[in-house]
Amino acid sequence: MIKPPQYVSDIKPYIPGKPIEELEREMGIDHTIKLASNENPLGPSPLAVKALTETIRAQEGSNSLNRYPDGNGFYLKQALAEKFGVSEDEIILGNGSNELLDIAVRTFLRPEDEAIMAYPTFVVYLISVQAQGGRTVQVPLKDYRYDLDAMADEVTSRTKLFFISNPNNPTGTINTQEEFDRLMKKLPDGILVIADEAYYEYVTDAAYAESIRYFREGRDILILRTFSKIYGLAGLRVGYGIARRDIVAEMNKLRPPFNTNSMAQIAAKHALQDDAFVRSSRETNEQGKVYLYNELDKLGYTFVPTEANFIYVLLDQDANILYGSLLKKGIIVRPVGPTELRITIGTPGENRRFVDALKQLRSSL
């Protein structure tokens, strides 16, 4: 019987949720709201939807969908290059930024090499490194934030990757420019910093680190962003990375051909121009954040202030029990630790429904 390497067998896989329709059928509930995956509750960018609709209508009766997509993502890369003031060969496209994380690990990490990351943080970092046979060095958060100084102290001659989730998932906290500057002065050449900025468009704190300045200085850095969050295109799976052209060239050797589909490229290109939708999404998120802070305070819950579109809630009970109780009321949240929940900030109506459910559960204790 064929078996994988032990380091693959040891991986704890990411556990996806069930489709809402299936959950409702199993539990006999309806009108479920999902506050678990940090999606944009306002839906997709209207400019993206308009472009997709027009494209589909234009293709009726044609054979264009039997053709492979543009394997280089020419028009989307052109739009990204113009927006960020970079060259098209300094951009790589992925099936979500998740895929680009995995490609970066496979490109630059050999078995037994080390990758430094925080804990808790985005679980895909750990999975990707383990799948490559690398060693993970996990440094605990300090005050729910990446402790970049302590992480820098863990660098050895075997270190090849340094992950930074900024804002961090699941805590929603950020690292400042000062902290990032201090880190980059300490890191020796030959270590790729992977700056995962999936939620950067939601950040309002002026102290937030501008990682792109290190790219412009020619440093070993890969900046990852996505159209899945504020642009509302999670179902189309498209992300992008910005790095020196030599880094991008090496990653492209392992990037699967045609890894971003035609519709995703069209939608992302037009979403990138939808500044009004981005502003509206950010404003909705800020209003929801204030409301949930106030209500969680009133109910006696402890939480971590966020710069993303979710809130990390610290419980005095088993997170899975509260998750199950909320699920029975048609509200899906995400347990992210033994006593921690991550709550996506929803629409005003969704936020109120979540708070009402919490009140009912709190009063029944």
Beta-ladder partners of 334:
342
Beta-ladder partners of 163:
194
Domain edges within the chain = 17-43+275-363, 46-271
Query: Cα(180)–Cα(203) distance, rounded to whole angstroms?
Result: 16
pTM, 2 dp: 0.94
Q: What pLDDT is recorded for position 9? A: 85
* Region 188-210 average pLDDT: 97
Closest CA to 226 of 184, 165, 175: 165
DSSP letter at 13 equals -
Phi-psi region of 284 (alpha: psi -120 to 50; beta: other; left: phi over 0): alpha
Q: Which of 16-30, 150-164, 192-206, 317-331 has the lowest mean pLDDT?
A: 16-30
Q: What pLDDT is recorded for position 63? A: 59
pLDDT digits (tens, 9 = 90+) for 233-268: 999 999 999 999 999 999 999 999 999 999 999 999
Q: What pLDDT is recorded for position 66? A: 80
Question: What share of the chain in percent tops pLDDT 70?
Answer: 98
pLDDT digits (tens, 9 = 90+) for 44-98: 999 999 999 998 887 765 557 788 999 999 999 999 999 999 999 999 999 999 9
The fold of 46-271 is Aspartate Aminotransferase; domain 2 (3.40.640)
Average pLDDT over all residues of the chain: 94
Q: What pLDDT is recorded for position 62? A: 58
CA distance readout (Å), 9 to 4, 112, 122, 127, 226: 6, 16, 20, 11, 30
* Region 23-33 average pLDDT: 79
* Region 128-134 average pLDDT: 96
Q: What pLDDT is recorded for position 6? A: 86
Contact 139, 119 (CB under 8 A): yes
Domain 17-43+275-363 sits in CATH 3.90.1150.10: yes
Tell me: pLDDT of 352 over 80: yes
Query: Cα(182)–Cα(97) distance, rounded to whole angstroms?
Result: 26
